[in-house]
A and B are shown apart, each in its own frame.
Chain A
């Protein structure tokens, strides 16, 4: 058992026949993002193998990513600017896949990024939702304090720019170990963080591609 909460659990399972390990998620709620990800493959996202639903209960079998999370690695040391750029670019590629299918991850943080060799993989789509243009604000407050954009607190409907906000926080934490409100990284990276985390979503990068170009 890797994680357990009132909403569900995450287990590491091993196939008896092949010995291959998988992640088995049980959760209640909307499995739509997982269903959609069945059709896609991306080296920076875990492969979703199967999604099964019964009533409100959902079961998801997904690829087990072997490696350390950024959250774990950050306890030991900070990342250099080059390392940060390389990892964040890969996170952006993962987000581009999500955003291109209309989904918002809404929980980008060091603990949800696993480094598999020199490959960064964005995991955990429990908080992910499809962005609805007509919705004025988020019906459910999800995400992680510090990484969640202001609009995720119900101020307005969160869209892909909420993920850009979280990536900005991620960059700052990887370089300084601190939230930008306490210590903003200096120089050009600081300006990128500043733009990512603007209170007004309109002033942030329009999409992750622009952020990748800035990086």
Chain B
């Protein structure tokens, strides 16, 4: 062989230079290397780790899927059912604006009613989803937590489903309280879902007592329209909000009109021995810039065929009033809601016109009203939120037209009388 010679390191035999093996002593004289197997030893623990993580994830998912959850929030929360996110809201308003806390001004001796409402909208679109969500509810329960020493505890009723969930909420729980009720009162709604989940929503009602100022004709001059206007000016200048002012009017006929456009002033009429009631012979406008509700009660408005007897652009209550001989007897306008109850509308062009551009609505039972010999008894031009108006126990007689309702607002005349 080529390549010279070498000797066997074991036996010393002379071997060819390229020999790998000594045939004399059978020793391997070649330098060899071993091949390392690059086994990925970390793979097994990694696989175990991944498997464990997957198991934990699966267990978590299964736990989340099959274990009932309890949700607890104030005012609002988002809850997902069947893949749809719902926004649950508690409010005292007529829209789904959350009110985890609501402050109510209360007057001594007054009675109040507020409703805790549950609105449910689709969380992404904001569209009302009350009807769809109600299919997931097994039961609903409302309880009230309030100070134990309240001289006039708040009472409440269990919630009932509403006909128009988009404006009235899916459910409504009425609460009643007085000026003597102590707060805060916590309203707690518990929704037990069909899948076992429990949703608790809370809101708090805080009472803020306000002072009431009652002004009587014995104490303040108010026998003429001039006296009355001066008194109103003085009240607007001197009595700060939120003090409630009740003006108790004498049974006189005021030769002119009155405008209450500063602060709310409630007008209470009276009757004398000859059955003569407080009356205004000119137009009256109740259009306060700010403040709480305005009440007009037991007052007559007597016109000569022109103008509007009483214009109300306020959160108003019109009780036991009379409207005679006006182009429009009572106009509720602006962006407000006022409800006539127990009123008399006679010989007017339009007895009562509702033309409010707002969204706010309130008491919708316009009951015990009498519409007599008007050209049009009721003219529904614009009704906030298309709220149904209920004419229970109203009497329509001798009118040219009873109810003009060009926009077909919902009305209920089931218990009205038409002669």
Once A17-B25, A18-B25 are accepted as A-B contacts, the answer to whether A39 and B32 lie under 8 Å apart by CB is yes
How far apart sit A96 and B35, CA to CA, in the bound complex (Å)?
Answer: 8
Interface string of B7-30 (1 = CB under 8 A from A): 000000000000111011110101
Quick check: is A97 within 8 A (CB to CB) of the other chain?
A: yes
Q: Give the distance to chain B from A22, nearest Cβ to Cβ, in Å.
A: 8
B34 CB contact (under 8 Å) in A17, A20, A40: A40
Contact among A47, A100, A212, A213 with B28 in the assembled complex (CB-CB below 8 Å)? A47
Contact A42 B28 (CB under 8 A): no
Q: What total of chain A residues lie within 8 Å of the partner, measured CB to CB? A: 22
- Alpha-carbon separation in the docked complex, A38 to B20 (Å): 8
A125 to chain B, nearest CB (A): 15
A49 interfacial by beta-carbon distance below 8 Å = yes
Point out the residues of chain A lying under 8 angstroms from B234, CB to CB: none
Task: Flag whether B38 is at the interface (Cβ < 8 A).
Answer: yes
A39 CB to nearest chain B CB (Å): 6
If over half of B's interface residues share one DSSP class (helix, strand or loop), that class is named, otherwise mixed; here it is: loop
From residue 41 to 65 of chain A, which have CB atoms closer than 8 A to chain B?
Answer: 41-42, 47, 49-51, 61
The answer for the CA separation of A41 and B30 in the assembled complex, in Å, is 11
Q: Does B65 contact A (CB under 8 A)?
A: no
A61 and B25 within 8 A (CB):
no
Decide if B124 is an interface residue (CB 8 Å cutoff).
Answer: no
Q: Nearest chain A CB to B398's CB is how many angstroms away?
A: 94
The 0/1 profile, CB within 8 Å of A marked 1, for residues 251-282 of chain B is: 00000000000000000000000000000000
The number of chain B residues with a CB under 8 A from chain A is 19
| Interchain CB contact under 8 A, A39 and B33 | yes
The listed residue (B19, B34, B37) touching A50 by CB distance below 8 A is B19
With A17-B24, A49-B21: A40-B32 Cβ-Cβ less than 8 Å: yes
Which residues of chain A from 159 to 203 have a CB within 8 Å of any chain B CB?
A: none
Q: Verify B37–A96 contact, CB threshold 8 A.
A: yes
The answer to whether A209 and B33 touch (CB under 8 A), given A17-B24, A20-B26, A49-B20, is no
A18 touches B26 (CB 8 A): yes
Return chain B residues, CB-CB under 8 Å to A17. 24-26
Distance A40 CA – B20 CA, assembled complex (angstroms): 12
Which residues of chain B come closer than 8 Å to A75, judged between CB atoms?
none
Q: Are B26 and A209 in contact (CB under 8 A)?
A: no
**Given contacts A49-B28, A209-B39, A213-B40, A61 and B21 within 8 Å (CB-CB):** yes
A51 (CB) vs chain B CBs: closest residue: B20
Is A3 on the interface with B (CB-CB < 8 A)?
A: no
Interface check A7, CB cutoff 8 A: no
Q: Closest B-chain residue to A101, C-beta based?
A: B35
Q: Which residues of A contact B38 (CB under 8 A)?
A: 209
For residue B50, give the distance in angstroms from its CB to the closest CB of chain A. Answer: 14
A-chain residues with CB within 8 Å of residue B26 when the two chains form the complex: 15, 17-18, 20, 22
Does chain B have a CB within 8 A of A93? yes
Contacts of B37 in A (CB 8 A): 93, 96, 209, 212
B237 interfacial by beta-carbon distance below 8 Å: no
Can you list 5 A-B pairs with a CB-CB distance of less than 8 A? Answer: A18-B26, A38-B30, A39-B32, A42-B34, A212-B37
Q: Which residues of B contact A (CB under 8 A)?
A: 19-21, 23-26, 28, 30-35, 37-40, 43
Beyond A40-B32, A41-B34, A49-B28, 7 additional contacts (C-beta under 8 Å) are A20-B26, A39-B30, A39-B31, A40-B33, A209-B37, A213-B40, A213-B43
Leading 9 A-B pairs by shortest Cβ distance: A49-B21, A50-B21, A41-B32, A97-B35, A18-B26, A20-B26, A15-B26, A50-B20, A41-B34
